[in-house]
């Protein structure tokens, strides 16, 4: 037990006292500058088909079927991006985009190869559905 005070001194030698400076922020810390982010760019691809839903029932199904068949004839593993373009973003894809997606799937395109999306563009005044190929 003669070594107990000596061992206690060794253990406490590496300790520091906790006071207000322990929790105070470092005065030399500088704020992190914000990096400006460029606005999102529009899709540079040319759509296979653009369907304008300004009227309540546009007649697009036959044209879309022909375009899908032509794309499948060129590449049997083609994938389709169905993008609803709206003047402002809503909670999810509008029903017209879902209807277009179902029309593509009716041409025996697996659901895994049809991708649904939505984005807003200030230039459009009504919902458009654009179909792109990958």
List the chain domain ranges.
Answer: 49-133
Q: Which of 82, 45, 76 is nearest to 60 (CA)?
A: 82
What integer pLDDT is reported at residue 56 of this predicted model? 76
Distances (CA, A) of 32 to 23, 36, 37, 113: 20, 13, 15, 43
Strand, coil or helix: 108 = coil
What per-residue confidence (pLDDT) applies to 123? Answer: 83
96 and 84 in contact (C-beta within 8 Å)?
A: yes
Q: Are 85 and 128 a contacting pair, CB within 8 Å?
A: yes
d(CA 82, CA 14): 64
CATH topology of domain 49-133: 60s Ribosomal Protein L30; Chain: A; (3.30.1330)
Q: Are strands 128-133 and 114-120 parallel, antiparallel or unpaired?
A: unpaired
Q: pLDDT in tens for each of the 134 residues of the chain?
A: 565 665 555 555 666 666 666 665 556 656 656 555 445 556 788 999 999 988 778 899 999 999 999 999 999 999 999 999 888 776 555 789 999 999 999 999 999 999 998 888 888 888 899 999 99
What does the longest C-alpha to C-alpha distance in the chain come to? 98
């Amino acid at each position: 037990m003669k070594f107990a005070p000596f061992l206690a001194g060794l253990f406490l030698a590496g300790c520091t006292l906790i006071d207000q400076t322990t929790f105070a922020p470092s005065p030399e810390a500088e704020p992190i500058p914000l990096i400006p982010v460029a606005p999102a760019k529009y899709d540079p691809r040319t759509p296979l088909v653009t369907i304008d839903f300004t009227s309540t029932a546009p007649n697009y199904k036959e044209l879309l079927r022909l375009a899908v068949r032509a794309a499948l004839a060129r590449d049997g593993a083609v994938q389709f991006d169905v993008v609803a373009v709206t003047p402002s973003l809503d909670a999810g894809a509008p029903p017209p985009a879902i209807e277009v997606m179902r029309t593509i799937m009716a041409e025996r395109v697996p659901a895994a190869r049809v991708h649904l999306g939505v984005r807003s563009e200030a230039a459009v005044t009504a919902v458009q559905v654009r179909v792109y190929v990958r």
